[in-house]
Structure 1
Amino acid sequence: MNFWRFDTDNPTLGAMIEGQNDPLLVTLSIVIACFAGVTVLALADRITAAREAATRAWWITGGAVAMACGMWSMHFTGMLAFELPGHDHGGYDAGLTLLSLFPAVIGSMVALHFIADASTRGWRLQLGSLLLASGIGAMHYTGMEAMRMPGLRYDFGLFVLSIAIAHVLAIAALSIRARLRAMRIMPENAVSYFAGPVVGLSIAGMHYTAMAAAQFHHVGDGTSHGTFLSDGSMAASIGMFAGVILLLSLLATWIDRQVGFQRLLQLERMAHTDALTGLPNRVMLDNQLETALHQNRCNDHGFALFYFDLNKFKPINDTYGHAAGDLILREFATRLQNCLRQNDLAARVGGDEFVALCRDMRDPESAARMAERILKALEKPVKLNRIELPLSVSIGISLYPADGDSAKGLKDKADDAMYRAKTGGLGYCFAGNHLNRSLEDYQRTSKAIMEAMEASDIQVLYQPEVDLATGNIRSLEALVRCPSNNSVTASEFISLTDSNGLSTQLSSLVLQAVCRQARAWLDDNIDFGKVAVNVSPAQFSHPEFARQTKSILQQFSLPAERLELEVSHKDLQNNKADQLLQLVQLRDLGVSLTLDRVEDLSLERISELPFQRLKIGRELIAQSATALNAVAKIRAIAALANALNLDLSCSGIETEAQKDLLLDAGCHSAQGYYFYIPTSADIIASLINSDQSTEVDWKAS
């Protein structure tokens, strides 16, 4: 073949020169090629995602330039790796070197146009890979022409093979990309990391096959004319330029992907969020409800579903306009969210209807307290300019699993209960009739407690605490009771006052009543020792509690050492600095401090707190009859109390065996039905004054 550089039999050609490759630079060139392949496929993904023609055109142009720069950089890095004896200071024609970039750009641009289709198949795949291979080949052989080597010739068979290798590997890369995208077994961006290196291998494979086809001969002095680039300057220029282009392309791809990801997140939020209130919509509620059903079939914690309908919303909307209606909806959404707990979900399901999913709530009392908290939060009207708009709702409540085990069933029952509440003029109504009967009892009790609190009419009973060694009464504990319903336990009574926001007021009334009674006992020369009062969480968290306690003591002229305050372990879990300051102030005041239910607090934590006495709860005492670990825990607490020089007491003693166990463990005092039941102040006085307290008919009280 006597055309271009295939005339290997030309008599002007001298002896062949055998070259060799630098392994390090060869490796670097292959890495550059793979990097270019990943970049171009990542850019192809952005082209696929683009919807506007102008955007696609920009991505295709940028992708073609990046791909061409990658090929260009790989080619000349590979050429730098090739060394010819006697040609150590070769160079390249500047014009042809620059010109070699353009076929790569054109080939890459046309190829990207075809391969950017999301489902590249058939002739598009073949044509795209052929154009890519042609661009690689044209760039390579144009770059070879830039060398100052008049004796350069090619083996025609290897020349054709180099183009074929580029074509075949390009088909393989694009087929892998198409198959992985169709299978959806990995993220979209990960596909480029698998198929991109194959594109790089097609570039490198073509280059090194073409280099194998190249034959270098001595021809005269080998001198050529023109503007030349030395190996060093060519390497630095091309490497820097191509590297910057590739990095900028990857950066642009990453930024665009992140922007697209944020756009998808925004669309997803819009699909699951109510635009007016910002609450989740019906779709999100249904998803969360199904999740709650699945979780509770496993853990059996239960949950409550609240269905809300705004009262008189249509008249307000019609009278004052949509702006007023929107304000009412937004304000209700805000107040509802403020009432719910962190793991609860509030949603707007349409119009003026809302739903709340309250997890870990299966008993009607807890649901009723939540409903009352919400109703109380709506008492304040909504202000619209100078107008005050009423805000009220009717609430229907269904409970899982009592009222059903399907999302539709629970929603339908809560909806029916809401309409019954609206029709009957009730604030809220339960789905089950038996729960509504419980609700009536609950509401009657709550009403009686509120009336008693308003009239400062509370009943305080006292339970003696005895010395385990002697059996003598050494102190008392004050226990509050519901004056109108003796069937309500102390814990229920405290819970009801807390749900009605009266716990602080109740605690203050109890403290005053106890200090008044203690002063009366002292005036009658009755030595009761100390009297203990339980402190509510709200009272203990009040920043002025220590000062208020001091004021009450001064009001009744009661010595501080006669008062004992019991603080539950639950109030100390957060380890707040202001609570610790309260304890220190009360201790400095002279008041005795007792840590109740000490077994629920870590033993290491106890030594850090300023308590003078520890108290073991009735639950651990009850477990001691059957559980060896409970006995071991009691002994450990007793040993710790003795080591810290703290007094130790126990509550809930009901048997002689329990008394003997505590005495043997080193406990100092105890209270419980085994010794005395809670009784009135008058009988307590008789018990203390009597030398034979068992003859007093205290049980009859």
Structure 2
Amino acid sequence: WNAAVAADALPGISAEVARHAAHPATPFDATWKVAAPHAPARWVRNLGKIVSHDAHGQPTRMLGVAMDVTPQREQEELLQKLAHYDALTGLPNRVLLAKLLQDRMAETRANGTRLGVAYLDLDGFKPVNDRLGHGAGDRLLVVVAGRLSRALRPQDCVARLGGDEFVILMPGLASPAEGEQLLQRVMDSISPPYSLEGERVSVTASIGYTLFPLDDADADALLRHADQAMYAAKQAGRNRFHQFDAEQERAQRAQREQGQQLRDALARGEFVLFLQPKVAMQAGVVVGAETLARWQHPERGLLSPAAFLPLVESTGLELAFGEWVVETALAQLEQLILAGLQLPLSINISARQLQQPGFADWMLERLARHPQVPATLVELEITESAALYDLPAVTGTLARLRALGMAVSLDDFGTGYSSLTYLRNLPMDTLKIDQSFVHGMMTDPGDMAIVQGVIGLARSFGCKVIAEGVETVEQGQMLQQMGCAHAQGYGIARPMPFDRFAGWVAHWQPPAGWLRYRPGESLR
């Protein structure tokens, strides 16, 4: 009986016999193809029941019926083909591609090779389609599909997504170079002219590709990445292939995730403003404080600005974060005033924030929300680069805010490359000597000269000067000798939580070496 049955069908038939023998209540039911000597093969469905066994209990005879189900089976196969293959080109369609891609990804992981996923779009197809008609365009696509199939290896697969877009799967690549050799072969196969409607027309291909698992994304993302790379090939001039940069994508994805973490942290109130005191060394009094952001991370603990400010600046959160800083600093000022402390607070303003149209109006509107806070206790701290990016606009903004009583401090002075001609026209009240020069001035004559120069410039500009990063009594004494009276740094106090600031101010005692008056010293 099995002479006309295909060999690959026999294991399934044997398995169904065994199942029926074990569960005789349900009939034997199997369908297979039967080959006839001088006629087309037919599909036969066989239903039966075992009716006798041998002495060992093995089935020997089955009684049943066989039905010719060829029309139904052919209809099923047609429907399967329509569901999984492109009707025009006969290539796998999007549905079958999804399954093939998943299968190839699993095989690639198992055998430790690479899978190339390429997205191909024809260059110049639309003009041909528009000029010669859709019928000619369809014939061109059929010829292109044939050329693609012949250019690839037997194990490769090309699918049509629709229009003039195709996807190529290249499993088992030993190296990226092997994939690029295949793609070059594909491009060479497409570029020769085509005969359509008595004309010779030419099209080329732009191809983007990515390599799995170097690009360790899911199937949908692999196709999307190859598509992105294809558009890069188009933008680079067409008729070429371009590899997706997986490292860059990972970096961008990490940046997006970090940006979302920062947004969530801002929404949850995880950021806090610490205060670092500023003092007049010789007088021995606290003259203000600088507000400095910290991130109270739920897992990593308290993080300094170095751990998150670069991310704030690179993820588009700079303005939102800057608004939070200003609002929080004004609220802290209000609380200090209620506690009897009339001390100015310095608020760091980013370049982007300062350059926003209407910044002065926005700042005044925020100040109006805190009527108990006088403008004279608000100091805006900016950097050289922020001030000089658009000097006329910045000058107008700062001049307006200064006219209302706010002070302006130029931070990290001496680290930039600013022209003194520009700086002398900038509305400002204080120059801050960068801590790098303060740290080095005790041993480096160059740093000493820079510190002296900044103090001299401040005097000539009519500004106060303050040194940041003061860590030792000797540094404070040296600064006083050169004419710098104000300082901040770890030698005075580290940045502290807001609720500790008032108590610290009440009990701070300056080093004795800073209190000795030296005749002729400037208190600037």
Structure 1-normalised TM-score? 0.38
Structure with greater proportional strand content:
2
Question: Of the two, which has the highest radius of gyration?
Answer: 1
Structure 2-normalised TM-score? 0.50
